[in-house]
Amino acid sequence: MVPKRPLNGCFLYAVPMSATRHVFDNGLTLLVEPLAQLRSVAIGVFVRRGSRHETDRERGLAHFIEHLVFKGTKSRSAEQIAIEVDAMGGHMDAFTSKEYAAFHLRVLDTHVDRSAEILADILVHPRFDAEDLRKEKTVILEEFAMVDDTPDDIVGEMFAEKMWPDHPIGRPILGTRAALRAYTREDVWRFFRKVYVPSNLVLSIAGRITEKKALALASRLFGRLPHASAPGRHARPRAHHGVIRKHRKTLAQTHVCLGVPGPSSLDDARFTGHVLGTVLGGSISSRLFQNVREKRGLVYSISAGLTGFMDTGSLSIYAAMSKDRVDAVLTLIADEVKGLLDAKVPEDELQRAKDNLKGGLMLSLEGSGSRMSQAARNEIYFRRTIAPDETLRRIDAVTSDDVEKLARRLFGAPLTLAAIGNLKGARLAVPAFS
């Protein structure tokens, strides 16, 4: 029942002031937050490079390597890694985003040394065996098939592709099937050696551990890695607009994603953007959810939100509905956007949206895993720690005037619209508000 956000990106990351930051001579960044009241320790290694940093010839390699490091090291097989993690009762996982990759492990404090050693082993001494490459390609091809069966994911990728067609930020993280099949062991090693260097690594630890202990672990496991320069970032994406559609008559629902360029993750306007997105469709009391879903029953899922990256962003709206309701839903979405442009958000509604954001932020900081990841993301995006109180103050400072001004600025630009489903007969009229 909770609205689904259409796209992934940086949110309002905050980390408590108790987190400390250390930068080693080789460029490695260590973040430590001791939490003596917990029994768990969360350890994560974040890589400051994601799919947006791939060249045209490297599409999907960041995600491919995320899989491959778990297939074995010089001293551990994939099975041994799994057995050791299970024996600790730990949880190990990884993911690749457009701007970074993450590998993390959560265990009891009694297993912190062993867990850190495993994490360091897979990232410092991967084997990249040729047979493992062959097998994992098959696994990722199944992941492609899974995405193909998930139209809400597809429409998000279509939206990004249409908005940023000339930049890697608009590409799918998985890359392409053809590129995946063609990659050799040499291609993998070349990308790994270029990207997985200490200056690109953020080691974040939160939980029942002392700062002294964390420093010793980081020094022993990563401190001797040689310094190496990391490649620079791509140019800033340039936003486009228009309509992209995929006709799939077998789909029971039609999925749409429409939106405009929005503030980046580093833009101070992001706070207003998140409040605006929450008012429009970011909660179950939001305008879109109440007026399109609850009152009219035209959709099951509808939401809006701000997606931020380092140097760009988008404010987008997602909805899923039966094919005969597409045009009616788009008209209602247009009406709700026009409502934001024609009148200021009432103070009680504004406060409810801000309270929703603040509550979600604070609840997200309750576990060692979330605090570890929040600290790392802060480092990646802001190169500093940010206390929750600072973020809460910035949200509280947003006014109705701020929301109106930003709405007028954003929706003064042409919209981008992506749609997938049985589109026969659908007009897919794109509203204009300028």
> Domain residues of the chain, as ranges?
20-152+164-221, 242-370+383-421
Rounded distance, CA 251 to CA 92, Å?
Answer: 35
The pLDDT of residue 6 is 39
The full length of the chain comes to: 434
- Averaged confidence pLDDT in the chain: 93
Query: Is-contact 320 255, C-beta < 8 A?
Result: yes
Helices assigned H by DSSP within 282-425: 287-288, 326-342, 347-363, 368-382, 388-396, 400-410
CATH topology of domain 20-152+164-221: Cytochrome Bc1 Complex; Chain A, domain 1 (3.30.830)
Which token pair is 7?
Answer: 């796209």
Beta-bridged to residue 243, according to DSSP, are: 417
The pLDDT of residue 229 is 76
Rounded distance, CA 278 to CA 282, Å?
Answer: 4
Q: Mean pLDDT throughout 384-396?
A: 91
The pLDDT of residue 406 is 98
Residue 16 has pLDDT above 80, yes or no: no
H-run or E-run covering 384: none
Query: Is-contact 98 314, C-beta < 8 A?
Result: no
Other beta carbons less than 10 A from residue 148's beta carbon: 11
Instruction: Report helix, strand or coil for 356.
Output: helix
Q: DSSP code of 249?
A: T
Residue 15 has pLDDT above 60, yes or no: no
- φ, ψ at 9 (rounded to 5°): 175, -175
Q: Which residues carry out catalysis?
A: 66
The pLDDT of residue 388 is 84
> What Cα–Cα distance (Å) separates residue 321 from each residue in 57, 75, 147, 318, 430?
38, 52, 19, 10, 17
Q: Which of 2-6, 32-36, 124-128, 317-321 has the lowest mean pLDDT?
A: 2-6
Rounded distance, CA 99 to CA 51, Å?
Answer: 6
Cα 19 → chain centroid: 22
Rounded distance, CA 71 to CA 80, Å?
Answer: 10
pLDDT digits (tens, 9 = 90+) for 212-266: 999 999 999 999 999 987 766 668 999 999 999 999 999 999 999 999 999 999 9
- Residue 271 corresponds to which amino acid? F
Other beta carbons less than 10 A from residue 401's beta carbon: 11
Rounded distance, CA 103 to CA 112, Å?
Answer: 15
- Pick left, alpha or beta for residue 29 (phi over 0 → left; psi -120 to 50 → alpha; otherwise beta): beta
Residue 5 has pLDDT above 50, yes or no: no
Rounded distance, CA 427 to CA 430, Å?
Answer: 9
pLDDT digits (tens, 9 = 90+) for 93-110: 999 999 999 999 999 999
The pLDDT of residue 13 is 44
Instruction: Identify which of 171-185, 352-366, 374-388 has the greatest average pLDDT.
Output: 171-185
Instruction: Report helix, strand or coil for 94.
Output: strand
Indicate the pLDDT class of residue 426, thresholds 50, 70 and 90: confident
User: Could you name the CATH architecture of 242-370+383-421?
Assistant: 2-Layer Sandwich (3.30)
Pick the closest to residue 22 from 202, 197, 196 (CA basis): 202
Indicate the pLDDT class of residue 385, thresholds 50, 70 and 90: confident
Indicate the pLDDT class of residue 4, thresholds 50, 70 and 90: very low
> What Cα–Cα distance (Å) separates residue 408 from each residue in 23, 78, 81?
43, 53, 53
The pLDDT of residue 399 is 98
DSSP strand E in 146-186: where?
Answer: none
Percent above pLDDT 90 for the chain: 87
Residue 329 has pLDDT above 70, yes or no: yes
Pick the closest to residue 379 from 46, 98, 41 (CA basis): 46
Beta-bridged to residue 416, according to DSSP, are: 242, 259
Instruction: Report helix, strand or coil for 28.
Output: coil
Q: Mean pLDDT throughout 107-124?
A: 97
Rounded distance, CA 332 to CA 30, Å?
Answer: 49
pLDDT digits (tens, 9 = 90+) for 26-81: 999 999 999 999 999 999 999 999 999 999 999 999 999 999 999 999 999 999 99
